[in-house]
Amino acid sequence: MSTCNERTQGPESQATGFPSAGPTISSVPERSPVVPETNSGPDHKPALGAEEDLTRRVMDACPGLGLAVERIRPRRIWMSMPSRNVRAMFSTLKGIWPDLHLSTITGLDTGSAIEVIYHFVLEKTLVSVRLTLDPEYPEVDTVGDILPVADAYERELHDVLGVRFSGRHSTPPLVLPDNWPEGYYPLRKSAKGGEKDVGHGDTGGTATSRA
């Protein structure tokens, strides 16, 4: 009869002299990888429960601000709103989500309007909110005091699209040289095909800027 101190040991390893711990990797029979069943047909729609819930909570937090949902995708939400309410929206959302992260602010000249799009992250979901501005006088309130990182983005949009951010003390150039022609915005459709001579200061030379 074997005692509790006795146990059957496998063959000793030739390399170490210790009992073998079991079969080597090469002796384990190969198995086909297990692939979870998914519905990838043309009618398949991804589950958007978390995104739809987040959208509902954002809308509920900002009643009367004119937020409208445009599209929802996995970890992605697109919305739009009147430009006059952008400060109220960010003040409200920042109070509810203190870790709200503004990723960037982008802009676009559509020909009939100047669009300003705020991209920010809430609960690991990227939310984009689009504003539509008058192309003749594109102006919107600054959010730099609410989200300090917005300062650089606002300065860049002023440089390239001429967007004015009211409430700022100043809007110094960020991506354009100090001697860039005033009122010439390189990403405006009106600048396409045009050119401007930009002086090089003390060098006495000029450079031609083409949009």
Q: How does pLDDT run across 118-147, given as a tens digit for each residue?
A: 999 999 999 999 999 999 999 999 999 999
Assign domain 49-180 to its CATH superfamily.
NADH:ubiquinone oxidoreductase Nqo5 subunit (3.30.460.80)
Please answer whether residues 171 and 189 qualify as being in contact, where contact means their C-beta atoms are separated by less than 8 angstroms. no
Whether the pLDDT of residue 201 is over 50: the answer is no
The reported pLDDT for the residue numbered 178 is: 84
Cα(113)–Cα(161) distance, rounded to whole angstroms?
A: 11
Query: What integer is the mean pLDDT of 14-41?
Result: 46
Residue with tokens 């309007």: 113
Residue 60 in tokens: 């509920």
Model pTM score? 0.71
The string of pLDDT tens digits covering residues 177-199 is 988 998 999 999 998 654 554 44
